[in-house]
Amino acid sequence: KSTLALLASAVAARTADDKCRVLALSSGDEDAAYQAGALKGIVTSDKLAPEDYQYDSVTGVSGGALNAVLLANHTKGEEPAAADRMEKFWVDASNSKLYKNWLGGIARGLFFEGGLYNSAPLEDFLKKEFIDVNIKRSLDLGIVDVLDGDYKDFSDKNITQGGNLIDAMYASMSFAGFFPPAEVLGSSWFDGSAVWDLDIFSGVNRCKEAGFAESDIIVDVI
């Protein structure tokens, strides 16, 4: 049902504007908070019309994946509200303890746990912050399967809300070496930046699937 709604929304957008807009959010890692400020600068600019930043499709890698979900949780036209929500999320994150030492310290993490620190507090934080998420535009998140080293794309087609979306975001923040791989979604995962820092192609492909020509696809990158 949600996929059909997204397709209908894309068709309506094409009729109104004849352009498909993509926002690709890069990995950023610990700097992903700055993406919230960048988006806020875009939506408050007096040099841009609202339709210039009403994105049909959003992609995210690593920390950018969390911002992608925060944006996709708002309908087109609600980008200013999404920017405010992003800002609040990262303020909350900066005031929260997102990892802890293993019992036995860094040595245990390095030699026995697959990561220097225990990321269980991060998972708990995500579960608290992302309640009742309802994806309202095309969304693609990239994470890396530890077992085969492949970059895998998770989208609104196969993750919509609830536990599987939290799992994908948790995996997106599992930085190799710093945290152990996330044991979720039937495999072990590290954040997507282990292979790609930025995913433009998934967003472009979603626009093509909606019937847009390449010349009518506009991509913004943060």
Write down the catalytic residue from 26, 62, 193, 202: 62
Is 56 annotated as catalytic? Answer: no
**Is the Cβ–Cβ distance between 62 and 191 less than 8 Å?**
yes
Say how far apart CA 26 and CA 119 lie, in whole Å.
22
Say how far apart CA 107 and CA 154 lie, in whole Å.
33
Write down the catalytic residue from 140, 191, 199, 220: 191
Is 92 annotated as catalytic? Answer: no
Reduce the secondary structure of 62-114 to three states and give it as a string. CHHHHHHHHHHCCCCCCHHHHHHHHHHHHHHHHCCCCCECCCCHHHHHHHHHC
H or E stretch covering 124: helix 120-129
Residues labelled catalytic: 62, 191
